[in-house]
Structure 1
Amino acid sequence: MAIEVMTRPHQLIASDRVEGTVVRRPNGDKIGHIERLMIDKVSGKVSYAVLSFGGFLGIGTNLLPLPWGRLCYSTKSEAYELDIEDEELKRAPSFGADKDFDWGDRAQEAELHRYYGMPPYWGGF
């Protein structure tokens, strides 16, 4: 039995298609790209997108965990949009590409959500 490929546009996207997608400002300027998604294992909801920005050829690259709700997908530019100024981006909680964010530290996650003024995906604030 052959598997039919759906060619109609739809709202779903595979995670491997999101990784590497460009992130732009609403004016079209490129900020970086999505390095990975962080998904809540229990609820199945995407909790964060990790934005890769800065650096050259992977050297000096910073990774910025963003609450998923902070991004909007633009069908026009086929990129995720993030309305963020350079200064806000520079001050945002981030980590070097050679380090890792402690996803098990709820206080660190809460600080991240406070910074963006967004309620945490797990509830409360």
Structure 2
Amino acid sequence: MTQTDAAPGVTTGKPLIESDRVEGTAVYDPTGDHLGSIKRLMIEKISGKVTYAVMSFGGFLGIGADEHTIPWSKLTYDTGLGGYCTDITEEQLRGAPSFYRERDDYDWTDRDRERELLDYWGAPYYWGI
């Protein structure tokens, strides 16, 4: 595999990565077990900062998988694993507030919902207070 053909999540030695190459990258729990994978990124329009990763977990071959929005600050890239590590457990994911577009209550303009999400994960508000 050449440097330009690297699989999602594999470090290529470049400091930046295209968003479509992040999609599908594995996420590992605190014990190093595969927890899920990145489905999409949420980017704040004005600052250009990645604020959230929507993570898919469970199911089989994408069928029956759940999605949860994780603050980007909860993910750290691990070159040895070729994926992202987090201190989030599967139990925490199952109890997390849902916030994704397949739900009727999807509204990314609702700061109260974002506060609920960020408070649940113990993550700072990306927009400042």
| TM-score, scaled relative to structure 1 | 0.84
Where does residue 65 of structure 1 map in the other structure? Answer: 69
Deviates more, 1:77-86 or 1:109-118: 77-86
- Which structure is larger by alpha-carbon Rg, 1 or 2? 1
Report if the CA contact (8 A) 1:62-1:95 is conserved: no
Letter in 2 for 1:63: E
CA positional deviation for 1:110: 0.7
- The count of corresponding residues between Structure 1 and Structure 2 is 118
Which ranges of structure 2 fall in alignment gaps of 5 or more residues? 5-11
Letter in 2 for 1:108: R
CA positional deviation for 1:95: 5.2
Report if the CA contact (8 A) 2:69-2:100 is conserved: no
Deviates more, 1:93-102 or 1:20-29: 93-102
1:120 aligned onto 2:125: yes
Of the three residues 1, 14, 18, the one matched with 1:14 is 18
CA positional deviation for 1:89: 1.7
CA positional deviation for 1:99: 3.0
SS at match of 2:64: coil
Residues 14-71 of structure 1 deviation map (CA, whole Å, 9 limit, x = unaligned): 1011011011124321111000000001000001000001122333221110110000
Where does residue 55 of structure 1 map in the other structure? Answer: 59
Residues 71-91 of structure 1 deviation map (CA, whole Å, 9 limit, x = unaligned): 000001110011122321211
Equivalents in 2 of 1:32, 1:23: separation in Å? 5
| TM-score, scaled relative to structure 2 | 0.81
Of the three residues 83, 86, 90, the one matched with 2:87 is 83
**CA, structure 1 residues 87+26, in 2 after alignment: closer, same or farther (shift >3 Å)?**
closer
**CA, structure 1 residues 58+95, in 2 after alignment: closer, same or farther (shift >3 Å)?**
farther
Which ranges of structure 1 fall in alignment gaps of 5 or more residues? none
Where does residue 111 of structure 1 map in the other structure? Answer: 116
1:32 aligned onto 2:36: yes
